[in-house]
């Protein structure tokens, strides 16, 4: 086939269509005339000859059509024609078009946006050089032999500088080991003073991760020399949000903790090396003298790059050997190492949430597809007469299928365009509304993914096409019947009504199942909202006070910290003095917002309850030997209206000089002193050995839907935490006193960052966001499904009724009353009821 | 034969091409010629003739040109292209092989 024959021919067929048509006419006319002459020569009269000629040729129009097919002009022509026809059909029944389009768009949009998130968060490669070789190295003060297992918890204890040096020297599995420590610094000089979260990183940190900087460079060895200039590497977010994305930022200076730092690099937005919170900057940690043997400064989190060919499991085995050696040198303050691969660390448990959301939207898409399929089926049924007539006039089955193809393509494209807009909005809204506590990494790099969108649209198209073709095939078997029925029969055949019935039943069953699911989810959500948290959440104003290290000194775990301790006492007095405040509770973590990281409990004089369970890191067993530790002010128990079970609450006399005391909850007593009075018992937890002085009734700390865990409360006076949450009990609506509280703290220290100010009721409802999303999502889907099912059922029933118009007419003519007719129609529908129930039973 | 229609269609193409190998001709003439040459045995289905001509033209084996017929009427004359000649040779070979093979089978005793 030579293109130089083909091209002009095709061009002519396409653009000179009228001419080609005329020529075809002329060609056939010439043929017919020659044939007629021939017949006349043979002795027929002209009339007979004419008939004979036409008979010999067959249908002139059919021949023409076949010639057009042969020329392939039909391909393009049909396309335009079907497009126009489809548009007209849609205009004639805009309800169908809009509903089908919006339904599909909803499914496409939701699916695309959620899977865009999944792709970015889970499947996008981690932005490091050979990320598979990177691991986190956590500490574990739990039983020796605690290991990470796939799918299990990924957070363990932090480490101390001495551990880092020990591990660096002794573990041969690693190419490099570095570490970071969270640090919040006061950023001044901008519009307003703000405390920003960053990380102080040890040497080799950037070399180990191997992510190229977006601008400038990462930190390098020379930055760690003492006496060097203060340098800082900033995140993309800080660059964009605080520094106006200035391209000449390298070399500029910012003021952190009132000291000047020179910016040497900007890291890309995807750089997210640590699993919690977003770091806005990285500064080098300058090693000091005593660090080598510092076993007090907790909070260090080591990261390491494995040597090529070594797995994280092998590194863990080597750590176990090293630990066995180290435990003899430092029996009192020894720490195991737990290796966690980087991908597991960063994605953490977020995949569970994403799995839920993915499941939800997949269901939504499926429902949308089934609904649209049902709409299409009903429509094809309605159009059976049209198809039958067209077929009688010479349209081939393929031609009709092609027309459906064009219509479905148009539908999918329109739905795809609408779906894109929907996905765009949904992604925006979702990213803006997901609470920080989801812990999903890299969320801010999420964009609507176009290939994904195309893929989802493709699925929709294939599904709608398949369904159209199936119906067409179904109707083709009866197409000859259809015309007869239209013309003569008085009642539609029972076979045809059977299909309609199947639709009614499936629509009903499907939407009822969804409705039941939706009701269950909404109900469980509502029930959760009514769960008694065990404390009184009404009229509680909650906010967080972050304590700038530059003003109040660096925080270290378990060390005496008179400045913070005084600060908290002062803050308590200042807030309590604000009019409208009744009492002030303070705690290191906010109930129902934070998970409390548990620590193992050792009870002197007891058989160590741990050894028989050692080696297991499964959450359920760990919980039995661990307790959460909360640091609270003495007023906490009264302000939250907690119930005392025995002993006493913490009091002001448990000051910094007094021996460490603790209040525990009932679950703690059940776990560790099942048959004893715990009051007066001494236990050893992490760095403290408190005496238990009281037992408080259980209340919800970790989540409304979770059972209470063992908890222990220490006084903030004795163990001040790095920063605190305030829960102020107000006399009326907390929003009314919020600004007064803010102002009086600003008067005390204008640089004190206050964050996340909210009523406790809002905190509680935010803690249920996942349940809410699930309930709202499935509820919406169910509602939509009911509406769609209604439309589908209406169209099927009205079709079947319209099929029986003649039958009804005859019945009325021979004396049936309108109520008889109604009974006939309703009876038909009602007879299906047992079938729904039968189908529903196994599903529910 | 798995698909008897192929044979029929392919045969019609072959007959058209063979007829056009002698001289350019219009559709009516092709039908007449085939009938005469085959001693009235082969009746070309006129309904299939024109689609076949258009298909062959589309494939570049024949070319169409308007001209004057024997009785001075405008008619569309088809002529063979070099590509068509090549295709015809191939198909003739094929046909001979096939028909002699069928002959062998039928003569089997």
Q: For A106-132, what is each residue's pLDDT tens digit? A: 888 888 888 888 888 888 888 888 988
What pLDDT does A562 receive? 87
Q: Are residues A440 and A371 in the same domain?
A: yes
Integer distance in angstroms from the first to the last C-alpha of chain A?
Answer: 62
Would you say A216 and A265 are in contact if contact means Cβ atoms under 8 Å apart?
yes
Residue A612 domain flag: yes
Q: What's the confidence (pLDDT) of residue A9? A: 66
Dist. CA A33–CA A39, nearest whole Å: 10
Q: Is the pLDDT of residue A367 over 80?
A: no
**Is the backbone of residue A369 left (phi > 0), alpha (psi -120 to 50) or beta?**
alpha
Query: DSSP letter string over A34-92?
Result: HHHHHHHHTT--HHHHHHHHHHHH--HHHHHHHHHHHHTHHHHHHHHHHHHHHHHHHHH
**Quick check: is A659 in a domain?**
yes
Structural domain tally of chain A? 5
Residue A151 belongs to a domain? no
Q: Does A67 touch chain B (CB under 8 A)?
A: yes
**pLDDT in the model for residue A262:** 92
Within a domain: B46: yes
- Tens digit of each residue's pLDDT (9 = 90 or more) over A173-198: 899 999 999 888 888 877 677 888 89
* Contact predicate A282/A199, CB 8 Å: yes
Q: What pLDDT sits at residue A785?
A: 67
- CATH code for the domain of B54: 1.10.10.10
Residue-wise pLDDT for A64-99, tens only, equals: 877 777 776 656 666 777 777 777 776 777 777 787
**Residue B88 within any structural domain of the chain:** yes
The structure tokens listed for A471 are 């119906």
Centroid of chain to Cα A738: 33
pLDDT of B4 > 50? The answer is: no
Flag whether pLDDT at B66 surpasses 60. yes
pLDDT of A492 over the 50 cut: no
What residues of A are in contact with residue B66 (Cβ under 8 Å)? Answer: 23
A754 with A781, same domain? no
Question: How far does the CA of residue B68 sit from the closest CA of chain A (Å)?
Answer: 11
Instruction: Suggest the residue from B5, B53, B54 to mutate for an interface test with chain A (most A CBs closer than 10 A).
Output: B54
DSSP E strands, A427-547: 540-545
Residue A75 pLDDT: 63
The DSSP-derived string for A728-743 is: EEESS-HHHHHHHHHH
CB contact under 8 A, B83 and A1: yes
Q: From B84, which residue of chain A is nearest by alpha-carbon distance?
A: A1
Q: Torsion-angle region of residue A484: left (phi > 0), alpha (psi -120 to 50) or beta?
A: alpha
Q: Are strands A754-759 and A215-216 parallel, antiparallel or unpaired?
A: unpaired
Q: Which of A835, A787, A97 has the alpha carbon at shortest distance from A504? A: A835
Shared domain check, A649 and A551: yes
Q: How many domains does chain B have?
A: 1
A336 - beta bridge partners? A140
User: Is residue A45 included in any domain, yes or no?
Assistant: yes
Q: Report the chain A residue with the minimal C-alpha distance to residue B61.
A: A1
Q: Which residues of B touch A21 (CB under 8 A)?
A: none
Q: Which domain holds residue A66?
A: 3-71
Res. A613: pLDDT tops 80: no
Distance in Å, alpha carbon of A212 to nearest chain B alpha carbon: 58
User: Does B3 reside within a domain?
Assistant: no
Q: Is residue A152 part of a domain?
A: no
Q: What is the mean pLDDT of residues A645-649?
A: 92
Which residues in chain A have their CB less than 8 angstroms from residue B60's CB?
A: 1-2, 5-6
Span A774-821, pLDDT tens digits: 677 667 767 766 776 676 667 667 666 776 777 788 888 888 888 888
The position carrying tokens 């996340």 is A756
Query: Closest Cα partner for A609 from A680, A684, A698, A507?
Result: A684
CB-based contact A67 B51, cutoff 8 Å: yes
| Sequence-ordered list of residues with C-beta below 8 angstroms from that of A739, at least 6 positions apart, any chain | none
Which of residues A46 and A543 earns the better pLDDT score?
A: A543
Is A34 at the interface with chain B, CB within 8 A? yes
Q: What is the pLDDT of residue A615?
A: 43
Strands (E), A554-603: 581-587, 598-602
Residue B29: exposure state from Cβ atoms within 10 A (0-12, 13-18, ≥19): buried
* pLDDT tens per residue, range A451-479: 888 888 888 888 877 877 776 666 555 54
Domain match, A544 and A524 both = no
Q: pLDDT band for position B109 (50/70/90)?
A: low
Computed over every residue of chain A, the mean pLDDT equals 80
Helices B27-37 and B4-22, axial angle in degrees (round to 10): 100
Q: What is d(CA A589, CA A714) in angstroms, rounded to the nearest whole number?
A: 12
Q: Cα A192 vs. chain centroid, distance in angstroms?
A: 33
pLDDT in tens, A17-66: 677 788 888 888 888 888 888 888 888 888 888 888 888 777 777 788 77
What are A254's strand-pairing partners?
A261
Give yes or no for B38 touching A (CB within 8 A).
Answer: no
Instruction: Answer yes or no: is pLDDT of A1 > 50.
Output: no
Decide if pLDDT at A572 tops 90. yes
Please give the Cα distance from A132 to A315 (Å, whole number): 13
In a shared domain, residues A384 and A412: yes
The pLDDT of A348-373, averaged and rounded, is 73
pLDDT at A507 over 90: no
Alpha helices (H) along B3-107: 4-22, 27-37, 46-58, 82-107
Q: Which sign does the torsion angle of CA A307, A313, A316, A318 carry?
A: negative
Q: Which domain holds residue B75?
A: 8-107
In chain B, what residues touch A62 (CB-CB under 8 Å)? 47
d(CA A311, CA A708): 38
Q: Residue A711 is encoded by which pair of tokens?
A: 């908890």
pLDDT at A282 over 70: yes
Final residue of a domain: which of A716, A742, A767? A767
In a domain, B1, yes or no: no
Task: Identify the pLDDT of residue A840.
Answer: 63
Residue A616 is predicted with a pLDDT of 42
Do A673 and A820 lie in a common domain?
no
Question: Do A791 and A660 share a domain, yes or no?
Answer: no
Does A141 map to a domain? no
- The answer to the question of residue B2 being in a domain is no
Q: Among A308, A334, A360, give the residue marking a domain's end.
A: A334
CA dihedral A231, A237, A239, A244 (to 10 degrees): -160
Which residue from A minimizes the CA distance to B74?
Answer: A30
Q: Which secondary structure element, helix H or strand E, spans residue A782, and what is its range? A: helix A769-803
Same structural domain for residues A386 and A457?
A: yes
Q: How many CB pairs below 8 A link A and B?
A: 67
Give me the residue label for tokens 């309703």.
A826
Contact (Cβ atoms closer than 8 angstroms) between residue A54 and residue B97? no
pLDDT in tens, A729-749: 999 888 889 999 999 998 998
* Residue A369 pLDDT grade (very low, low, confident, very high; cuts 50, 70, 90): confident
Find how far residue A568's CA is from the centre of its chain. 38
**Complex ipTM value:** 0.79
Residue A216's SS3 state is strand
Per-residue pLDDT, A401: 78
Give the model confidence (pLDDT) of A129-167 as tens digits. Answer: 898 899 999 988 766 677 888 777 778 888 889 999 989
Query: How many angstroms separate the CA of residue B44 from the nearest CA in chain A?
Result: 10
A697 pLDDT above the threshold of 70: yes
A19, A63, A73: best mutation site toward chain B, by most B Cβ within 10 Å?
A63
- Pick A9's closest partner by Cβ from B46, B58, B69: B58
Q: Do A33 and B50 touch (CB under 8 A)?
A: no
Long-range contact list for A790-796, CB < 8 A, 24+ apart?
A791/A95, A791/A99, A791/A375, A792/A371, A792/A374, A792/A375, A792/A378, A792/A503, A792/A507, A793/A503, A793/A504, A793/A507, A793/A508, A795/A375, A795/A378, A795/A379, A795/A382, A796/A378, A796/A381, A796/A500, A796/A503, A796/A504, A796/A507
Among the candidates A723, A739, A767, a domain finishes at: A767
Residues A707 and A827 in one domain: no
The DSSP bridge pattern shows strands A259-267 and A231-235 to be: parallel
State how far the Cα of A628 lies from the Cα of A601, in Å rounded to an integer: 10
Same-domain check for residues A678 and A551: yes
Query: In terms of Cα–Cα distance, which of A829, A824, A721, A608 is closest to A299?
Result: A721
Residues A433 and A501 reside in one and the same domain: no
DSSP H or E run through A254:
strand A253-256
pLDDT greater at residue B37 or residue A695? A695
Per-residue 3-state assignment (H helix, E strand, C coil) for A467-492: HHHHHHHHHHCCHHHHHHHHHCCCCC
Among A302-306, A328-332, A720-724, top mean pLDDT goes to A302-306
Residue B94 located in a structural domain: yes
């Amino acid at each position: 086939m030579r293109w130089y024959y083909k091209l002009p021919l095709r061009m002519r067929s396409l653009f000179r269509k009228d001419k080609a048509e005329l020529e075809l006419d002329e060609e056939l006319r010439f043929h017919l005339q020659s044939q007629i002459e021939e017949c006349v020569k043979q002795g027929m009269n002209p009339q007979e000859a004419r008939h004979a000629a036409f008979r010999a040729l067959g249908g002139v129009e059919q021949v023409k059509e076949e010639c057009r097919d042969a020329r392939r002009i039909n391909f393009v022509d049909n396309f335009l024609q079907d497009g126009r026809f489809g548009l007209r059909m849609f205009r004639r029944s805009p309800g169908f078009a809009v509903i089908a389009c919006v339904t599909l768009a909803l499914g496409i949009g939701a699916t695309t946006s959620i899977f865009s998130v999944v792709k970015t968060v889970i499947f996008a490669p981690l932005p490091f050089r050979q990320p598979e070789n990177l691991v986190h190295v956590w500490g574990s003060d739990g039983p020796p032999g605690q290991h990470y297992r796939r799918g299990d918890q990924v957070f363990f204890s932090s480490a101390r500088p001495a551990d880092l040096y020990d591990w660096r020297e002794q573990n041969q599995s690693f190419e490099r080991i570095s570490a970071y420590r969270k640090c919040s610094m006061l950023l001044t000089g901008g519009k307003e003073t703000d405390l920003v979260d960053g990380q102080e990183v040890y040497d080799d940190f950037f070399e180990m991760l191997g992510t190229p900087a977006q601008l400038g460079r990462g930190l390098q060895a020379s930055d760690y020399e003492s006496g060097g200039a203060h340098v800082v590497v900033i995140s993309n977010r800080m660059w964009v949000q605080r520094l106006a994305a200035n391209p000449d930022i390298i070399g500029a200076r910012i003021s952190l903790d009132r000291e000047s730092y020179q910016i040497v690099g900007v890291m890309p937005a995807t750089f997210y090396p640590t699993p919690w919170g977003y770091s806005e900057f990285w500064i080098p940690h300058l090693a000091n003298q005593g660090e080598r043997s510092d076993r007090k400064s907790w909070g260090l989190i080591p990261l390491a790059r494995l040597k090529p060919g070594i797995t994280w499991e092998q590194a863990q085995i080597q750590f176990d050997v090293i630990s066995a050696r180290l435990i003899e040198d430092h029996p009192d303050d020894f720490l195991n190492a737990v290796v966690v691969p980087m991908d597991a660390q960063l994605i953490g448990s977020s995949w569970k949430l994403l799995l839920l959301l993915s499941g939800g939207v997949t269901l939504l898409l499926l429902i949308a597809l089934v609904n649209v399929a049902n709409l299409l089926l009903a429509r094809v049924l309605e159009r059976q007469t049209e198809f039958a007539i067209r077929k009688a006039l010479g349209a081939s089955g393929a031609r009709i299928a092609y027309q459906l193809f064009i219509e479905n393509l148009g539908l999918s494209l329109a739905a795809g365009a609408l779906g894109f807009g929907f996905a765009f909005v949904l992604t925006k809204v979702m990213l803006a509304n997901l609470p920080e506590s989801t812990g999903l990494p890299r969320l801010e790099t999420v964009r609507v993914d176009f290939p994904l969108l195309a893929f989802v649209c493709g699925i929709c198209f294939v599904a709608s096409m398949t369904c159209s073709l199936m119906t067409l095939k179904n109707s083709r078997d009866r197409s000859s019947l259809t015309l007869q029925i239209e013309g003569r029969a008085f009642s539609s055949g029972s076979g045809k009504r059977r299909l309609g019935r199947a639709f009614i039943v499936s629509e009903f069953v499907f939407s009822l199942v969804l409705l039941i699911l939706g009701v269950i989810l909404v109900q469980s959500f509502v029930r959760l909202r009514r769960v008694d948290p065990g404390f009184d959440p009404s009229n509680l104003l909650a906010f967080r006070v972050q304590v700038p290290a530059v003003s109040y000194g660096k925080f270290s775990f378990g060390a005496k910290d008179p400045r913070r301790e005084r600060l908290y006492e002062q803050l308590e007095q200042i807030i309590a003095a604000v009019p409208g405040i009744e009492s002030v509770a303070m705690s290191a973590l906010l109930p129902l917002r934070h998970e409390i990281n548990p620590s193992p409990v050792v009870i002197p004089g007891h058989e160590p309850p741990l050894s028989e369970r050692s080696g297991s890191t499964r959450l359920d067993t760990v919980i039995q030997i661990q307790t959460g530790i909360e640091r609270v002010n003495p007023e906490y128990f009264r302000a939250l209206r907690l119930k005392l079970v025995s002993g006493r609450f913490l009091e002001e006399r448990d000051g910094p000089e007094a021996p460490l005391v603790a209040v525990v909850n009932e679950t703690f007593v059940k776990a560790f002193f099942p048959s004893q009075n715990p009051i007066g018992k001494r236990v050893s937890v992490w760095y403290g050995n408190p005496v238990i002085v009281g037992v408080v009734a259980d209340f919800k700390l970790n989540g409304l839907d979770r059972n209470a865990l063992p908890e222990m409360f220490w006084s903030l006076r004795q163990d001040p935490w790095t920063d605190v949450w305030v829960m102020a009990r107000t006399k009326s609506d907390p929003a009314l006193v919020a600004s007064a509280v803010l102002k009086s703290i600003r008067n005390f220290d204008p640089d004190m960052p206050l964050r996340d100010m909210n009523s406790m009721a809002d905190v509680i409802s935010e803690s249920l966001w996942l349940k809410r999303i699930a309930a709202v999502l499935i509820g919406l889907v169910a509602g939509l499904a009911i509406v769609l099912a209604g439309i589908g059922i209406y169209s099927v029933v009205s079709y079947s009724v319209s099929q029986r118009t003649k039958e009804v007419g005859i019945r009325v003519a021979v004396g049936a009353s309108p109520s008889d007719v109604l009974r006939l129609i309703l009876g038909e529908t009602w007879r299906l009821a047992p079938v729904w129930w039968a189908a529903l039973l196994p599903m529910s | 034969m798995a698909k008897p229609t192929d044979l029929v269609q392919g045969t019609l193409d072959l007959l058209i091409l063979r007829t056009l190998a002698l001289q350019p001709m219009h559709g009516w003439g092709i039908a007449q010629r085939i009938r005469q040459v085959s001693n009235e045995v082969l009746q070309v289905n006129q309904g299939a003739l024109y689609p076949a001509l258009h298909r062959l033209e589309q494939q570049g084996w024949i070319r169409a040109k308007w001209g004057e017929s024997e009785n001075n009427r405008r008619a569309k004359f088809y002529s063979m292209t070099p590509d068509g000649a090549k295709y015809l040779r191939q198909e003739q070979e094929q046909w001979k092989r096939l028909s002699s093979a069928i002959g062998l089978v039928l003569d089997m005793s």
